[in-house]
């Protein structure tokens, strides 16, 4: 089994991005007999798709697990990606600021994750993560990468499963740590490894 894990470089005011650091940490790892490749994507609507698609086409992974930095609390396993690009004020890392344009002209309005979302949430809660499913991955780069991944898989008729998980920023960069805000990098790696173990045992039995 081959798994591609993607994360992002830092963006905006953040000095670090735990999604990218987790992907980099997992690159080259083996979980059970699943071979993990991790890549770090630019926070750029105009530059993220090329390395993502190139990695999928080169590796032919059984699973693509997209990771992204999300809200201040918990882990959110995304169910849907929408065909829209929108950036916060100031834009992405290239200062590009789309306002609702389509990711893929003529593409479906949305794609659903093909990962076992319910099982992932249950597993993460069992191992003491604050996990929940989410029906909206936003319209920024995380949604863009999830949609682009699923659209490429669909149009190329690949037998690949894919989805996205959001988790909290690093605790070192969250000034208010009340109500469980922020996560250590070790916790990021722990939850990602737990998910990969589940995927290995549930998807490729």
Architecture field, domain 2-203: 3-Layer(aba) Sandwich (3.40)
Of the residues 9, 21, 78, 139, only one is catalytic, namely: 78
The whole-model pTM stands at: 0.94
Of the residues 9, 25, 85, 142, only one is catalytic, namely: 142
Q: Is 85 an annotated catalytic residue?
A: no
Beta bridge partners of 170: 183
3-state SS assignment for residue 116 = coil
Which distant-in-sequence residues (6+ apart) come within 8 Å of 74 by Cβ? 129, 130, 131, 132, 167, 168, 180
15 pLDDT above the threshold of 70: yes
Q: Is 166 an annotated catalytic residue?
A: yes
- Give 164-181 pLDDT, tens digit per residue: 999 999 988 877 766 778
The domain ranges of the chain are: 2-203
Joined tokens for residue 52: 């993502």
Please, what is the average pLDDT of the chain?
93
The percentage of residues in the chain with a pLDDT greater than 90, rounded to a whole number, is 84
Q: Is 78 an annotated catalytic residue?
A: yes
């Amino acid at each position: 089994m081959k798994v591609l894990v993607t994360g992002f470089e830092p963006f905006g005011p953040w000095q670090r991005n735990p999604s990218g650091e987790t992907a980099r940490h997992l690159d080259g790892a083996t979980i059970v007999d699943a071979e993990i490749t991790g890549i770090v994507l630019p926070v750029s609507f105009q530059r993220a798709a090329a390395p993502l698609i190139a990695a999928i086409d080169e590796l032919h992974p059984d699973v693509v697990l997209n990771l992204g930095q999300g809200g201040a609390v918990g882990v959110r396993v995304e169910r849907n990606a929408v065909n829209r690009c929108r950036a916060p004020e100031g834009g992405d890392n290239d200062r590009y600021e789309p306002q609702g344009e389509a990711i893929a002209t003529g593409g479906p309005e949305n794609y659903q994750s093909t990962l076992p979302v319910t099982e992932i949430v249950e597993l993460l809660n069992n191992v003491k993560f604050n996990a929940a499913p989410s029906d909206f991955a936003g319209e920024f780069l995380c949604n863009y990468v999830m949609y682009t991944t699923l659209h490429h898989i669909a149009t190329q008729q690949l037998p690949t499963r894919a989805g996205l998980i959001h988790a909290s920023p690093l605790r070192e960069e969250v000034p208010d740590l009340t109500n469980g805000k922020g996560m250590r990098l070790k916790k990021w790696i722990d939850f990602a490894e737990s998910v990969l173990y589940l995927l290995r045992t549930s998807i490729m039995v």
